[in-house]
Chains A and B, each alone.
Chain A
Amino acid sequence: MIDHSLVISPLAAFLFHLKQGFWLYPWPILIGFLTILGYQSVGRIVMLGSVKWPVVFVLASLVSMVSLFGWLTMVRRVGMIPLYGCGVGLASAMMSRVYAITTPMHPQLKIRIIHVIWRGDTRGIVQLQQALRAHAASESDAGRARV
């Protein structure tokens, strides 16, 4: 309750409501989205089998930390449930359109970059399948040679 004869700059109230709005509405959506995006991305990268286990460990730990940090900073009340669910749903829907996530070596920078192959990218899918077949063949040749 404020005495209406007071002339108070609306900026402070506006910024407060803006910040409050962010923590109440987009933040739970973002956390739900990032949690699913992170876990699914790690899962898909791991499934390719070309990443070393320490990298997998670090990535999975980071994703868990992001998720838990989000939960810790979230305004936990009943109204947050549908928003968090919305974020989870959005990320799941988006990830359902992803065929695979690979980590090829950048030719110039010589570092691994994240490359997303979408379900609509037929050429990319074919290339990935060929690469996987070639990789499997070289693995089995190497295995036979060891035996």
Chain B
Amino acid sequence: MRVLCLLLALSGALTAQRPVPRPAPELSIVEASGKTTALSSYRGRIVLLAFISTRCAHCQKASLVFERLAQEFPGRLQVAEAAFDAEADTEMFRQRFGLTFPVGTVSSDIAHDFLGIPAGTRVGTPQIVAIDSRGVIRAQSEPLGTPLLQTPDYLCAVINAIFKQEPGR
């Protein structure tokens, strides 16, 4: 019985996600043009980052929501997406959905590491992360995805809540 409890606790610990708030690790997003953008270069702005699969319908829908939010909060919000599906054509994805924000690629291991999820764990896409201007992750999807974080109204409320706590406000 004790062994079983230990195994259960161990499996829980292995699949657990790191809690928020926590500092966002450095991340480099490589765009199709070859341009590499470091996440730290967005410091000073609220960042809405999504780890997507270009073939996932929810990610495509979320990208349109992101585009809308990027237009709603110009200068205050930086939106970026990182595709981690194999052979993702991010340029075609950007053009198809008319996205004006950077869409690049990262490896699956890097995405897992950033999200604080053990490598190899199944994740639901899109994985949405809201980072404040100091580079602290304030909101993040659950490992299997959080539909609430894909809705424009809720994302708007999260961004406004982060903005209200920004220094200098």
Listed in ascending order, the chain A residues whose CB lies under 8 Å from chain B are: 1-3, 5-9, 11-13, 15-17, 20
Contacts and interface: CB of A to CB of B under 8 A. Distances in A.
Interface in B23-49: none
A108 B7 CA distance: 78
B20 A1 contact: yes
Given A12-B151, A13-B148, A20-B147, A5 B21 contact: yes
Interface of B: 17, 19-21, 138-142, 146-148, 151, 153-154, 156-158, 161-162, 164-165
Contacts of B146: 1
Contact of B154 (A1, A5, A7, A13): A13
B147 A7 contact: no
Given A12-B157, A13-B154, A5 B142 contact: no
A44 B148 CA distance: 45
B17 A1 contact: yes
Contact of A9 (B148, B151, B157): B157
Contacts of B157: 8-9, 11-13
A8 B147 CA distance: 16
A6 B99 CA distance: 29
